[in-house]
Amino acid sequence: MRLALCGLPGAGKSTLFAALAGRKLAGDKGRDQAGTAILPVPDQRVDKLSALFNPKKTTHAQITYLDPAPALAKPEDPTTRLPPELRQCEGLIEVVRNFDAGLGAPNPQGDHQAFGDELLLNDLITVERRLERMAGERQRGRKVDQEELDLCQRAKAILEDNQPLRGEPVFMHHPKLKGFGLLTARPLIVVANNAEDDPTPPDLGTPEPPVVVRAAIEADLAQMEEDERAEFMADLGLTESTLDRLIKASYAAVNLISFFTVGPDEVRAWTVRAGAPADEAAGVIHSDLQKGFIRAEVMRYEDITSHGSEAAVKKAGLMKLCGRDYLVQDGDILHVRFNL
């Protein structure tokens, strides 16, 4: 899963990325490629299962963040003002400035609205161009895909009403729209980058408050040794890194869940979309498991941690044998049986 940092210039995207990546902040001068950070998803369940099974290796689920390079905009094409990497990610993290630092008084609500308008304009132009091409094909006597035409007309009506497309999942996941890269169809997490002494979320005029980060502090924390970081966080009254909360929010926003595999060699968290069947989850582990899927032995995380062992879970009658159509739940522990 990949999420891209985005927003208006000066919001502190690179500072936040430096904190996420645990790197010293570098200047943007001459930067011509996206920065990438692959991070573990914090999950106490993985740690507790590892303590129970004492494996040789413990692996958390992972999430990838991109810090796109500035776009090479063409004045004649408004769709080039945003970095192309945004269209290649499953979700967007909009960073909104809520600090001064010599940049002038912040206007987070206005900035959020302006960036949202930019996303809407991009999508509207994309959809209108496709509709124009289909109209031209019809004029030349060629048949057009009616389902795609209907979807584009529906998307155009929503966008012209100044509404994003993410309210209808079909626009993100429909195969006939896969190449469109519709930005307002993607899940959006709004992050308010606050001043160092301000933990209060700003009013963006939206139903959901933004995730508040103080990126300058988080970037400093990322450079500290673990004991120094814990002491500094305690002084600030922080019990959890804001970045951990952001990672969890990112994971949930893209509608993903975690399931686990356990054993003496490895305890591992795997990522799958919510509502995925058992054979699809098996394919996440390895394609051969999906091809030769027979069944899955399924336990719940809560059951194994309360009973203490797989044997005790089985004895309590809490181990389930499930077929390929079983819908995997967050917190399931799977043993996949297969034959090739």
Q: Which of 131, 153, 185 lies at the terminal end of a domain, its last residue? A: 185
CA pair distance 230, 242, nearest whole angstrom: 13
Residues 174 and 285 in one domain: no
Name residues of the chain where pLDDT drops below 50.
24-32
Q: Which of 133, 150, 185 lies at the terminal end of a domain, its last residue? A: 185
- Does residue 93 fall inside a structural domain? yes
Instruction: State residue 33's pLDDT score.
Output: 58
- Does residue 247 fall inside a structural domain? no
How far is the CA of 154 from the CAs of 139, 144, 171, 172, 179, in angstroms? Answer: 21, 16, 10, 13, 17
Instruction: State residue 73's pLDDT score.
Output: 66
Residues 21 and 119 in one domain: yes
- Does residue 254 fall inside a structural domain? no
Determine the length of the chain.
340
Residue 314: CATH number of its domain: 3.10.20.30
- Does residue 220 fall inside a structural domain? no
Q: How many domains are there within the chain? A: 2
- Does residue 77 fall inside a structural domain? yes
Residues 180 and 287 in one domain: no
Domain limits at 293? Answer: 275-338
Q: Which of 141, 163, 185 lies at the terminal end of a domain, its last residue? A: 185
User: Are the C-beta atoms of residues 8 and 95 closer than 8 Å to each other?
Assistant: no
Instruction: State residue 5's pLDDT score.
Output: 95
User: Are the C-beta atoms of residues 39 and 116 closer than 8 Å to each other?
Assistant: no
CA pair distance 230, 236, nearest whole angstrom: 10
- Does residue 253 fall inside a structural domain? no
CA pair distance 251, 257, nearest whole angstrom: 8
Instruction: State residue 224's pLDDT score.
Output: 84
Residue 62's DSSP bridge partners are 40
Residues 286 and 156 in one domain: no
CA pair distance 268, 333, nearest whole angstrom: 10
For the segment 317-327, what is each residue's pLDDT rounded down to a tens digit? 999 999 999 99
Locate the DSSP E strands across 121-196: 188-194
Residues 170 and 307 in one domain: no
Residue 153: CATH number of its domain: 1.10.150.300
Q: What's the mean pLDDT when you consider all of the chain? A: 90
- Does residue 233 fall inside a structural domain? no
Q: What does R_g of the chain's alpha carbons equal in angstroms?
A: 23
- Does residue 270 fall inside a structural domain? no
